[in-house]
Amino acid sequence: MNLTFDLDNLKEEIKAHAIDCGLDFFDVVFEMCTFDQINQIAALGGFPTRYPHWRFGMEYEKLSKSYTWGLSRIYEMVINNDPCYAYLMSSNPLVDQKLVMAHVYAHSDFFKNNLFFQHTSRKAIDEMANHGARIRALGERHGHENVEDFLDACLSLENLIDIHSVAIQRRTEDTESTRFLSKEKDASDRLGRIKAKDYMDGFINPQEFLQRQKDRMDEEKRRQKRFPPDDEKDVLLFLLRHAPLETWQREILAIVREEAYYFAPQWMTKIMNEGWASYWHSRMMTGHLCTDQEIVDFADHHSSTVAMGSGRLNPYKIGLELFRDIEERWDTGRHGAEWESCDDYRTKMSWDTGERKGRETIFQVRKLYNDVTFIDTFLTEEFCRQHKLFAFRFNPSSGQYEIASREFADIKKQLLASLTNGGNPHIFVTDANYGNRGELFLRHRFEGAELKLDHARDTLHNVQRIWSRPVHLETVIGGHGRLLTHDGTELREREWAVETGPASEPEDES
Amino acid sequence: MADGDLALYEGVSKIERDHARFRQIVRGRIKKDLRKYMARGELIGKKGHDLVSIPVPQIELPQFRFGKNMGGVGSGDGEVGDPIGGDPQEGEGTGEAGDRPGEHVLEVDLTLDELARIVGEELELPNIQPRGKRTVLAEKERYSSIRRQGPETLRHFKRTFVRALRRQIALGLYDPLNPRIVPVKEDKRFKSWRVTFVPESNAVIFYMMDVSGSMGEEQKELVRTTAFWIDTWLHSQYKTLESRYITHDAAAREVDQETFYRTRESGGTAISSALRLCADMVKQHYSPLDWNVYVFYFSDGDNLLSDNEACFRILQDELLPATNLFCYGQVQSLYGSGEFKHRLDENLKADNLITTEIRDKDEILDAIKAFLGKGK
């Protein structure tokens, strides 16, 4: 911490306000930085030390260029750590520093309390530094080029994680005893027959039922022979466990995966997190912190932060307005069956049950929700209309994005689709012994949006570099199923009509 | 805490390594396979109030991502079916999006000078060396000195009163309680000028274009964009820059800028006519001793076969010795044979002759780089 005496006092003052507001946060360490330091740290994702990689250099160039040419500047950056680290830009005027501090305390509260952050490491600064040291050391030993190339391959797969696996047990780990247990079952069980008296047997175990049971068990047998037995969404984990990698490669892959899981909750809660912080900074600023002459500067700054420019959705704005909306609705009781079934405009306009639970509700929401559930639960038709939301889609004939709909249902569906899985496609490992040749089969669960094909091809090549045997990706392009296959030297593609489905086994290449 | 802070920032200097590495990739020195993921910042701009985009090279590692038919949600006015600006998918969904620092987007007006600097940095264009003895020394007057005599309008107010104050103090006439200072004639100081000689490079650019029937709108657009950036860059290098425009079909004529970009003629093509005109103009007005002469010629490569000889002769004997740079940009057209570049390359070799092909907008950058990259 290198704050001036005044700023340090200010920090204590804001902290006291934040506590008064009911925020419960990790302590925050503020660092005063020059713009260049801020750009450097921001390029590294907010961390002072990361592993060496050109991608950070690229980010740095972009940030410093846009700062130099006056296109944008960073005014707030905070990292999820205990204590939280936040950065203040030394050239900012006092009113901005106040705003940033208030904003940061709310972020810290969110990091600490939101459920989806509970699995993240709170010693991330140290861990990132360790990862950096480790990868540097690996570079020394195995060649920086090799390490960087392998990192590139891993980073190109970094979104293939299962973001909910930290909260759900996806699979029961097989142990020797459970594996043999099933064989102990008695003969009748093996046929799936339900125990019954002889004269009832025909009714309790009719032929169709037995057939179904048999199918089910055959399926189960097949499943057990398959590898992996169930589709695996955590592709990185699967590669980490089963790909033939050298130890140093495994180590790099593990680091990339770990960091991906660390960052995942931040993109899962972008709207909420920013909304929450904006809600509290505006409340604290207008309530206590601004002096009379600062209020205009604050208003100016705040409005440009939450401005919805050029048709884009601004997470700050949406989050902030939704939190305010929730507070108002739960203050006046505008929710629940009674409210929804009421269709008299005038009654609705003056609806107030005196519930006064707004504040309590938003605190609950910030604890229990992520962006998907947040939008799903709290986005209302009135809200969409008020903020002029629309769904857009790409029109291939005009080559432009066009407004597709202003219907509430469409907007909500589209918004949820773009937030689900962090806006990433669902990709599964379905078979690691495809064609009994040890080839890896990935399946894209098609939900209406196609993959970017050129990227998919190159990404598949990267999967192949890690798996080392040929790899396949099944997806849908232009209404047709398509199988991309990369065997390390070349990429082949095969197409089929979706209704017929792909041949379950690969055709022999002749 | 001071020690801890040092430790915190020690690591930061490593960004320079990452940055250097990135620059190397962008320049294609290492990891050439990554270059294909490079997204070129748009470099197409217009003068005046229109937008100018600043190129920032970005390399996107391939990932399984959704393509264009994903769609999304935006906000604002507009009817169903209205196009929305830009590519809304860009800038979204980077892996660490959640922790992307909050940014404050400002609108900015760039002057052409700044723009040229950005272009120069991006294209890694060298600063152009003025040709040694061909620089002209220009007399320049600057008000940088002080005299005791002069007109009242040039009186140096501050110095005058300082002199007066000194005199009054020395004479004991100064009363701090009643600080009245009255300058007399000897106190007065006047601003005055000094004559300095500043080396000045003069430059003239000739833009020549084939406007025969085969050059369509698309080709003109390519020429226009290329010429604009060349103009911008050279303007940033030379204070006094003249531009001359020549169009030709079977015969050449000098035109103004407006006409240069607008006209569409038809008819045969004789490139030599334009070269002839250009060479004559250079001889008459722009002695190579005083002027840096740049010639940019654009066509679709179609020429009367019998005319080629004449072209080469004019180039060899007159134009090339007199110019810093003769650039030929051949734009692709449906009708043009694209022969001329080929012939030119075969028949003439000179240090200051650069030929390049511009097939589409993406190649403008490379063309400019080829033209100006030598720093002549």
**Assigned token pair, B112:** 């052409």
pTM: 0.70
B109, pLDDT greater than 90:
no
Average pLDDT over residues A196-221: 85
Whether residue A445 lies inside any domain: the answer is yes
Beta bridge partners of A485: A472, A492
What's the pLDDT tens digit per position in A157-182? Answer: 999 999 888 888 776 665 555 555 55
Overall average pLDDT of the A419-446 stretch: 92
Q: With a cut of 90, say whether residue A260 has pLDDT above it.
A: yes
Residue B107: predicted pLDDT: 42
End-to-end CA distance of chain A: 69
Q: Which residue of B has its CA nearest to A266?
A: B98
Which residues does chain B have within 8 Å of residue A308's beta carbon, measured at their own beta carbons?
75-76
pLDDT tier at A12, thresholds 50, 70, 90 = very high
Q: Which residue of B has its CA nearest to A442?
A: B64
Nearest to A311 by CA among A403, A379, A386: A403
- pLDDT of A430 higher than 50: yes
Mean pLDDT within A298-317: 78
The answer to whether residues A315 and A352 belong to one domain is yes
Partner B contacted by A188 (CB < 8 A) = no
Separation CA A506–CA A406 (nearest Å):
45
Q: What pLDDT was estimated at residue A498?
A: 66
Describe the crossing of helices A270-284 and A358-368 by its angle, rounded to 10 degrees.
140
CATH classification of B201-372, choosing from 3.40.640.10, 3.40.50.410, 3.30.1540.10, 1.20.1510.10? Answer: 3.40.50.410
DSSP codes, B123-182: HTPPPPPPPGGGPEEEEEEEEEEEES---GGGB-HHHHHHHHHHHHHHHT---TTS----
Q: Is the pLDDT of residue B37 over 70?
A: no
| pLDDT at A135 (0 to 100) | 94
How much is the average pLDDT of B296-311? 83
**Domain match, A297 and A318 both:** no
| Residue A404 pLDDT grade (very low, low, confident, very high; cuts 50, 70, 90) | confident
Residue A507 located in a structural domain: no
Inter-chain Cβ pairs, chain A and chain B, closer than 8 A: 288
- Under 8 Å between Cβ of A230 and A437: no
Q: Which of B49-63, B170-184, B217-231, B349-363 has the highest mean pLDDT?
A: B170-184
pLDDT band per the 50, 70, 90 thresholds, residue B68: confident
CA dist B233 and B126 (Å) reads 11
- Assess if residue A127 is contained within a domain: no
Q: Does the beta carbon of A18 lie under 8 angstroms from any beta carbon of chain B? A: no
Per-residue pLDDT, B135: 52
Cβ–Cβ contact B349 with A under 8 A: no
- Phi, psi torsion values for A430, nearest 5 degrees: -105, -25
Q: With pLDDT > 90 as the criterion, what percentage of chain A qualifies?
A: 48
- Chain B from 114 to 143: CB within 8 A of any A CB: 114, 118
With CB atoms and an 8 Å threshold, state whether A392 touches B68.
no
**Which tops the pLDDT comparison, A253 or A205?**
A253
Structural domains of chain A, count:
3
Among all residues of chain A, which has the CA nearest to that of B92?
A423
- Give the residue among A127, A25, A43, A22 at the shortest CA–CA distance from A87: A43
Edge to edge, what strands does the sheet with B353-358 contain? B252-255, B240-248, B202-210, B291-299, B325-331, B353-358
A161 within domain boundaries: no
Q: How far apart are CA A229 and CA A432, in angstroms?
A: 10
Residue A140 domain-assigned (yes or no)? no
| Residue B213 scores a pLDDT above 90 | no
Number of other CB atoms surrounding residue B200 within 10 Å: 16
pLDDT attached to residue B93? 30
Together in a domain, A429 and A415: no
B25 interfacial to chain A (CB closer than 8 Å)? yes
A295 and A394: one domain? Answer: no
User: In which band, very low, low, confident or very high, does the pLDDT at B39 lie, cut at 50, 70 and 90?
Assistant: low
Distance CA A404, CA B152 (A): 72
Q: How far is A507 from chain B (nearest CA, A)?
A: 26
Contacts of A155 in chain B (CB under 8 A): 61, 95
Q: Is A179 exposed, middle or buried (0-12, 13-18, 19+ CB in 10 A)?
A: exposed
- Residue B85 CB contacts under 8 Å (≥ 6 apart), including other chains: A310, A311
Does residue A367 fall inside a structural domain?
yes
Tell me what the mean pLDDT of segment B61-87 comes to: 78
Q: Which one of A379, A404, A420 terminates a domain?
A: A420
User: To 5 degrees, how large is the angle CA B227–CA B232–CA B234?
Assistant: 95
Chain B interface includes A130 (CB < 8 A):
no
Cβ within 8 Å, pair A55-B103 = no
- Choose the final residue of a domain: A260, A283, A302: A302
Both tokens of residue B191? 């601003």
DSSP codes joined into one string, B58-104: EE------B-GGG-EEEESS--TT-EESS-TTTT---TTGGGPPEEE
Do A328 and A397 fall into the same domain? yes
Enumerate the residues of chain B whose CB falls inside 8 A of the CB of residue A456: 62, 64
Same domain as A344, residue A284: no
Across the range B199-217, mean pLDDT stands at 78
pLDDT at residue A266, rounded to an integer: 92
- Taking CA–CA distances from B5, the nearest residue in chain A reads A1
Asked if pLDDT for residue B92 goes beyond 60, the answer is no
Q: Where are the domains of chain B?
A: 136-198, 201-372
Q: Do A313 and B20 touch (CB under 8 A)?
A: no
Residue A435 placed within a domain: yes
Return residues 77-96 of B near A (CB < 8 Å): 77-88, 92-93, 95-96
pLDDT number for residue B174: 87
Q: What integer is the mean pLDDT of A286-291?
A: 86
| Average pLDDT taken over every residue of chain B | 74
- pLDDT band at A141, cuts 50/70/90? very high
Mark yes or no for CB contact A31/B2 under 8 Å.
no
Question: Does the pLDDT at position A240 exceed 50?
Answer: yes
Judge if A298 and A397 occupy the same domain.
Answer: no
User: Inter-chain contact B18–A425, Cβ cutoff 8 Å?
Assistant: no
List CB contacts (< 8 A) between A404 and chain B.
71, 80
Other beta carbons within 10 angstroms of residue B190's beta carbon come to 18
* pLDDT tens-place string over residues A14-52: 999 999 999 999 999 999 988 888 888 999 988 988 999
Residue of A nearest to B103 (CA): A74
CB contact under 8 A, A74 and B57: no
**Residue A190 pLDDT exceeds 80:** no
| Length in residues, chain B | 376
Q: A402 contacts in B (CB within 8 Å)?
A: 81-84
The more confident residue out of A368 and B132 is A368
**B261 or B6, which is more confident:** B261
For testing contact with chain A, the best of B21, B51, B99 (most A CBs within 10 A): B99
A-chain CB neighbours of B114 within 8 Å are 69
Q: Do B99 and A266 touch (CB under 8 A)?
A: yes
CB-CB neighbors (< 8 A) of B39 in chain A: none
Domain of A353, in residue numbers: 306-420
> Is the pLDDT reported for residue B45 higher than 60?
no
Q: What is the pLDDT of residue A368?
A: 95
Is the model more confident about B125 or about B25? B25
* More confident position, A135 or B263: A135
- What ipTM, to 2 d.p.? 0.85
Which residue from B215, B226, B203 is spatially nearest to B354, judged by alpha carbons?
Answer: B226
What mean pLDDT is reported for chain A?
86
What is the reported pLDDT for A309? 58
Whether A358 and A312 map to the same domain: the answer is yes
